[in-house]
Amino acid sequence: MHWIDPDSLPEAAGLFERFILNPHGEVDGFVMKDRQAAVLVHTPPHMDGELTRHLSPGDKVRVRGVRPRGAELLAAIAVTTASGWQIIDEGPDPDRKHPKVKHEPMTADGTVQMSLFGPKGELRGALLSDGTVLRIGPKEAEQVAALLAPGAKLAARGDGIQTSHGRVIHALEVGPDPARLKPVRKPKDKKPKHEDDARAA
């Protein structure tokens, strides 16, 4: 059970548009449209089954959640469907594992519709205008943040999965177009300054 009481949180409402997938092909969020703009809602993967059973494009949906600093994101604690069915984050089953799926080489090329974030507001990829979800680790994403911003041109190559809810690519190379792809690399950890000073002494 989540430690936050969902009834204590403000509620946002809109129309369900589409699911967002993680690199394993599981639903870990969705996009809903309110009166002003599209809203990215993060949901933990263990809510995948209930969300996909009870939400369809165009449905009215209400969300109680928290907004992390510095990210256009609503991290859901509870989701209520048009029929009044409430899906609450009760935490994962202790034995739950990611599904075993076969990844295939995939490419993408388009315009970023929305930046994607993890539950704490960390940049984790982008949703392209054709519906393709691109996923990148948070440290790697920081290095290519400009390419993941809404309106940016983005091309990618990596390992992907096609599901009934769309396709997701774990990006291994990214660039502004297919001719300028560069490998996605985790930045090297910087050594504390005092270590360098000690060696110089």
pLDDT tens figures, 101-132? 899 999 999 999 999 999 999 999 999 999 99
| CATH 2.40.50.140 intervals, the chain | 104-183
Of 129 and 3, more confident: 129
CA torsion, ordered 86, 2, 115, 24, to nearest 10 deg: -90
| CATH 2.40.50.1010 intervals, the chain | 7-88
Please tell me the predicted confidence (pLDDT) of residue 141: 95
Q: Which CATH number fits domain 7-88: 2.40.50.1010, 2.40.110.10, 2.130.10.10, 3.40.190.10?
A: 2.40.50.1010
Which residues 6+ apart lie within 8 Å of 195 measured at CB?
Answer: none
Q: Would strands 182-183 and 166-175 be described as parallel, antiparallel, or unpaired?
A: antiparallel
Architecture of the domain spanning 104-183: Beta Barrel (2.40)
Q: What value does the mean pLDDT take over residues 137-159?
A: 96
Q: What value does the mean pLDDT take over residues 43-54?
A: 94
